[in-house]
Amino acid sequence: MRLEFVKTFIDSTTHLFQEVVCSDAEVASIKMRPSPVAGGEVMAIIGLMGDAQGRVIFDMDSLTATRIAECMIGEPSEGLTPMVRSAIAELASMATGRAISEINNGGVTLKMSPPTVISGANISYDHCLETLVAPITTAYGEVRVNITIQDLK
Amino acid sequence: MVNEKRASVGAKGPLNCLIVDDSAFARFRLRRLMDSLDHCVASEAANGNEAISAYNRLKPDIVLMDIVMPGLEGVETVRRICEADPQARVIMISSVSYRDKIEEALAAGAKCFIPKPVTTEELKRAIDKVMDKDEMLDVRC
């Protein structure tokens, strides 16, 4: 786990929440887990590749996702519409893009994939890779940022 | 693909714009910003190949281009558009905004780079710069 990068991802996410959805974002206790946390109803997944590889998963319940997206869109939404899913994907993409930009400016090459959003009851991500989970409390509910990033062997 | 339309362009009139982003939300937001600046969104594209096709068909005054997209990504798309039309005015708008990527985008032919999330003021400033100057801009708008 490239722990020195983790703070960059968490900071970019909290700053983006303040900037895009005008919500304070507080990070609760960060924990290392053997795999990403399961159980959220909405996951935005972004792959990382380059000098290191891994993924970032933004995991939240559907009400939180809808409320965040409504703020971004500027109008009410009826649940997890395609536009709500797209807004969540864009938020994840902006947070990750900002983090990898800072990391690249520090001399480490890191690229990101376009985001993928999956949703449903009790969804999980079955890759058992050591993951750092940062629960972020926002005005709209909790967003968990699951970060896995490892050097290439 | 959305319905295509063109503004009636005067010397200082509304610009015809092509928005290229794989995110429906990002396209929605950029369309809203362009509407607020009284410009016309001629069309939208969700990837590089769609963008090249739409550009060749519509010859928009300005292109707003994302970088990270599935398939043909933004920088290579700009390179192909600008090779075919060196007068193309492309503004890159991306969350991926590290130095090497910005330089790569400008070398490919983009005139300007704005990091996401973009504000109305940043977009207006970028459009003004790109439309007022013929020379390549070498800094962020």
What digits encode the pLDDT tens for the residues A48-67? 999 999 999 999 999 999 99
- In angstroms, the separation between the Cα of residue B12 and the nearest Cα of chain A is 30
State residue A39's pLDDT score. 66
In the structure, what pLDDT confidence band is assigned to residue B135 with cuts at 50, 70 and 90? very low
DSSP assignment letter at B63: E
Q: Kindly tell me the sign of the dihedral angle through the C-alpha atoms of B105, B106, B111, B112.
A: positive
> What residue segments make up the domains of chain A, in order of their start?
3-151
Within 10 angstroms of residue A78's Cβ, the number of other Cβ atoms is: 7
State residue A139's pLDDT score. 93
For residue range A11-41, list pLDDT tens digits in order: 999 999 999 987 888 888 888 887 666 667 9
Average pLDDT over residues A88-108: 96
Q: Which pair of tokens denotes residue A36?
A: 């990403």
DSSP element (H, E) containing A3: helix A3-20
Cα–Cα separations (whole angstroms), residue A16 to A11, A97, A107: 8, 11, 23
**How many whole angstroms separate alpha carbon B74 and alpha carbon B92?**
8
Which of B24, B29, B96 minimises the CB distance to A97? B96
CATH level 2 (architecture), domain B16-132: 3-Layer(aba) Sandwich (3.40)
Out of 3.50.50.60, 3.40.50.2030, 3.40.50.720, 3.40.1550.10, the CATH code matching A3-151 is 3.40.1550.10
State whether residue B71 sits within 8 Å of chain A by CB.
no
> What residue segments make up the domains of chain B, in order of their start?
16-132
DSSP assignment letter at A123: -
State whether residue B95 sits within 8 Å of chain A by CB.
yes
State whether residue B66 sits within 8 Å of chain A by CB.
no
In the structure, what pLDDT confidence band is assigned to residue A43 with cuts at 50, 70 and 90? very high
State residue B22's pLDDT score. 96
Q: Nearest 10 degrees: CA dihedral of B79, A46, A21, B125?
A: -10
Average pLDDT over residues B84-92: 97
- In angstroms, the separation between the Cα of residue A124 and the nearest Cα of chain B is 24
Angle between helices B120-132 and B24-36 (to 10 degrees): 70
Burial of A153 (0-12, 13-18, 19+ CB in 10 A): exposed
- In angstroms, the separation between the Cα of residue B33 and the nearest Cα of chain A is 12
- A97-132 burial, b if ≥16 CB within 10 A, otherwise e? bbbbbbbbeeebebbbebbebebeeeeebeeebebb
Within 10 angstroms of residue A17's Cβ, the number of other Cβ atoms is: 24
DSSP element (H, E) containing A86: helix A82-105
Which range (A64-78, A127-141, B111-125) has the least confidence?
A127-141
Higher-pLDDT residue of A110, B138: A110
State whether residue B24 sits within 8 Å of chain A by CB.
yes
First to last CA, chain A: 12
Which residues of A lie inside 8 Å of B (Cβ-Cβ)?
Answer: 16, 19-20, 69, 72-73, 82-83, 86-87, 89-90, 93-98, 100-102, 104-105, 112-114
State residue A44's pLDDT score. 96
Q: Which pair of tokens denotes residue A64?
A: 């939180």
**How many whole angstroms separate alpha carbon B133 and alpha carbon B131?**
6
Test mutation, A93, A105, A112, A117, chain B, max B CBs within 10 A: A93
CB distance A86–B23 less than 8 Å? Answer: yes
Name the residue with tokens 């649940």. Answer: A79
State whether residue B9 sits within 8 Å of chain A by CB.
no
**How many whole angstroms separate alpha carbon A25 and alpha carbon A39?**
21
CB distance B99–A114 less than 8 Å? Answer: no
State residue B120's pLDDT score. 95
State whether residue B69 sits within 8 Å of chain A by CB.
yes
Considering only CA atoms, which of B103, B90, B92, B41 is closest in space to residue B69?
A: B92
Contacts of A72 in chain B (CB under 8 A): 25, 29
Cβ-based contacts under 8 A for chains A and B: 62
Contacts of A82 in chain B (CB under 8 A): 24
**How many whole angstroms separate alpha carbon B72 and alpha carbon A131?**
31
- In angstroms, the separation between the Cα of residue B127 and the nearest Cα of chain A is 22
Residue B139 has pLDDT above 70, yes or no: no
- In angstroms, the separation between the Cα of residue A83 and the nearest Cα of chain B is 6
